[in-house]
Structure 1
Amino acid sequence: MTDPTTEPTDPVISTPRTRWQRVRDSDIFWSYSHSPVTIIASIVALGLILAAAFAPWLAPHTPFQPATVNLMDGFTPPGGESLSGETYLLGTDDQGRDMLSTLMYGARVSLFVGFSATLFAMALGVSLGLAAGYRGGFLDSLIMRIADVQLSFPAILIALLIFGVAQGLIPAARQEQTAVWVLILAIGLSNWAQFARTVRGTTMVERQKDYVSAARLLGRHPVALAIRHVLPNVLGPVLVIATISLALAIIEEATLSFLGVGVPPTQPSLGTLIRIGQRFLFSGEWWILAFPAITLILLALSVNLLGDWLRDALNPRLRK
């Protein structure tokens, strides 16, 4: 018998959480918010990427159009006033080009090559690794032996070889127009093996699980089974490798451009700007080399730190 003095209470109705609440309560967001180094690295990387992506609208000058360049403003130091009376925040180079605008356009080329080469290497490596791990047999042995041979050489040498062969096959009149795409092809083909080995090992584990056996018994086609069921479960390590490979691809592109086999001078990247600036280092114009080098270091380091954090966040064994 209930007490008549006791008032009935309404049942507690739980409201569904919003998407932002689910993200905020996730382990990845907690790991990100408690890592000051990762927050700073993401801010630096995002700032550099946005500055490069919107360079045509944010840059104070258009540095690679001869009509907008004044040779009399050459070698203006940072913050100094040029002969034409204009002040440049980061100074000018030997051609009178604004260093700030030049860095934004140079980072634009470096990021385009880095992102494109990483996406190409990821697509090729994931496809081959998935086929090798799921199919096995002769195909697995062939792909892995090719990957082993490639991994025994430095990636920069592989990229140099591929770039040289590709440029030899292209007519001289079209080499400058296709240099960026050849560079993307060379860097992508030199970095696919890491993706293939990782995906192949994870696929060999996933294909033994019950959900794959159940899908196989239901008559799913092997290609559809590998793409629809196995591939989503191997993307975690792929994202980590892609982030770290992006930093390596940017450095690799800068190295090739520094050696003079990268992008043409008409659309220079950070590596080309460093190669140009090192000629004036000992003559007193230190900023022509220093600012492109600092930009490259900040870009590669911030992306690499994000890759390290992502690796720890996606791997429960590495969480503290």
Structure 2
Amino acid sequence: MTDELVDIKGRAQAPRRSRLGEFFSSDFFYMFRRSPVAIISFAVVALLVLAALLAPLIAPYDPFNPASLNLMNGFTPPSTPNAFTGDTFLLGTDDQGRDVFSTILYGMRISLFVGFAAVLFAMVLGVLLGLIAGYVGGWIETLIMRIADIQLTFPSILVAMLIFGVAKGFTPVEYRDQMAIWVLIVAIGLSDWVQFARVVRGATLVEKNKEYVQAAKMIGRTGPAIMLKHILPNVLSPVLVIATISLALAIIAEATLSFLGVGAPPTQPSLGTLIRIGQGFLFSGEWWILLFPAATLLALALSVNLLGDWLRDALNPRLR
């Protein structure tokens, strides 16, 4: 039996393509492989994410295991044998003798986890509130949009610091270090939901007056079912673009909060925490403790941002 299809007149038709084949022959993939910036950005993001996920296998040392640390290895320059132990480290060590390369891999896991989780939380909250505001309207729409307008008058990093401080104050002292990452995710997510809500509300106002929504109402579909099954799939394209760009902003926000000492705890340092530690030794000559974590954060945030800009152009038919 062949894969060919036969129409009602008995003529052979071309075999159906798989979904993977359709993707590789789509305009989206054609634009991707014609854009060097998108290819390089995607390669950098994929490499860094893969390195973070495989940190326990790639990292030569466990930098957060006190039993594996040797203070005599402290302040060892990159690729230079230590004067006391003779050990060599690719990117050097910090003041506690921790391998900088290993700390970057483990720290990047925290930064990426916080960034992805915060964006997911902000996206779910913003999309839900945007759908409700655009579809229901009335005083509910006014209330949601006025809260969004008020929040936009403050810098998002200040909103995140305020939420983090309030949430941490309600957390019992013995659980603060354990809950710090989750509090940080909630704080960044609550500071970034507004962009999702405003875009989804605008798209919902357009979609709810179209024929397919009116038809769904006529056959008895409920409001939540219409919002989730009919309107939501048609407003996801701009949401995905905002989510990609917001990922870079969330990673930077986490690094900023950790740099200021109100983010990830010392027991679970992120890239921002490593930068804060390295900043204290910059002017004493140990430049590598700051340079390599900062360069990793810059490469990650810049690549995600460039990928989001390209995705915005690729999914916008007006810019083609």
User: TM class by shorter-chain length?
Assistant: over 0.9
The equivalent residue for 1:217 is: 218
Q: Which has the larger radius of gyration?
A: 1
Pairwise CA distance, 1:20:
2.9
Q: 1:167: Cα distance to partner?
A: 1.1
Residues 22-53 of structure 1, C-alpha deviations (whole Å, 9 max, x = no match) = 11221110110000011011110011111111
Deviation larger for 84-93 or 155-164: 84-93
Question: Which residue number corresponds to residue 15 of structure 1?
Answer: 15
Please state whether the residue corresponding to 2:16 is helix, strand or coil: coil
Provide the residue aligned with 2:167 in structure 1: 166
- Kindly indicate whether residue 47 of structure 2 is the aligned counterpart of residue 64 of structure 1: no
Report the Cα distance in structure 1 between the residues aligned to 2:15 and 2:213, rounded to whole angstroms.
36
Cα distance, 1:173 vs structure 2? 1.7
In structure 2, how many angstroms separate the alpha carbons of the residues matched to 1:122 and 1:136? 20
* 1:242-289 Cα deviation digits (max 9, x unpaired): 000000000000000000000110110000000000011011100000
1:163 alignment partner AA? F
Whole-Å separation in 1 of the counterparts to 2:75 and 2:139: 61
1:123-175 Cα distance to aligned partner (Å, 9 max, x none): 00000000000101110000000000001110000001101111111122211
Gaps of 5+ in 1: 1-9
Structure 1 position 176 matched with structure 2 position 177: yes
Cα deviation, 1:94-146, whole Å, max 9, x if unaligned, reads 11000100000000000010001000000000000000001011100000000
Letter in 2 for 1:277: G
Which residue matches 2:264? 263
Q: Counterpart in 2 of 1:276?
A: 277
Report matched runs for 1:277-292 at 5 Å.
277-292=278-293
Q: Which runs of 5+ in 2 are unaligned?
A: 1-9
Deviation of residue 56 (structure 1)? 1.2
Q: 1:295 to 1:12 in 2, by over 3 A?
A: same
Deviation at 1:14, TM superposition (A): 2.0
Equivalent-residue separation in structure 2 for 1:12 and 1:97 (angstroms): 67
Q: For residues 72 and 183 of structure 2, what CA distance do their matches in structure 1 show?
A: 36
CA distance in 2, matches of 1:201, 1:253: 29
Letter in 1 for 2:304: V
Once the two structures are TM-superposed, the CA of residue 11 in structure 1 deviates from its matched residue by 5.8
The one-letter amino acid paired with 1:266 is T
- The alpha carbon displacement at 1:318 in A equals 1.1
User: 1-side partners of 2:17 and 2:24: how far apart?
Assistant: 11
Are positions 1:133 and 2:134 aligned together? yes
Cα distance in 2 between the residues matched to 1:20 and 1:242: 24
- Distance in structure 1 (CA, Å) of the matches to 2:39 and 2:71: 41
SS of the counterpart of 2:266?
A: coil
- 1:317 lines up with 2:318 in the alignment: yes
* Alignment of structure 1 residues 223-238 onto 2, 5 Å: 223-238=224-239
TM-score by length of 2: 0.95
| Alignment partners' CA distance in 1, 2:112 and 2:94 | 22
2:50 partner amino acid: L
Counterpart position of 2:112: 111
1:33 aligns with 2:16: no
Identity, in percent, stands at 66
How many residues were matched structurally? 310
SS of residue paired to 1:219:
coil
Q: Which moved more, 1:149-158 or 1:21-30?
A: 21-30
Aligned to 2:157: 156
- Displacement after TM superposition at 1:12 (Å): 5.8
Partner of 1:96, secondary structure, is coil
The runs of at least 4 aligned residues of structure 1 exceeding 3 Å deviation read: 10-13
TM-score (norm 1): 0.95
> Could you tell me how far apart the structure 2 residues matched to 1:114 and 1:212 are?
35
- What is the deviation of 1:63? 0.2
Instruction: Please give the alpha-carbon distance, in whole angstroms, between the structure 1 residues aligned to 2:70 and 2:158.
Output: 39
Partner of 1:296: 297
Rounded Cα–Cα distance in structure 2 between residues aligned with 1:216 and 1:261: 49
Residue 89 of structure 2 is matched in structure 1 by 88
> Does 2:254 align with 1:253?
yes
Deviations 1:43-98 (A, max 9, x none): 10011111111111211100011100111011111111123222111111111000
The residue type equivalent to 1:49 in the other structure is: V
Partner of residue 305, structure 1 = 306
Report the alpha carbon displacement of residue 15 of structure 1 after superposing the two structures with TM.
2.4
Which whole-Å CA distance do the structure 1 matches of 2:186 and 2:19 have between them? 39
SS of residue matched to 2:30: helix
Give the Cα–Cα distance (whole angstroms) in 1 for the partners of residues 24 and 125 of structure 2. 34
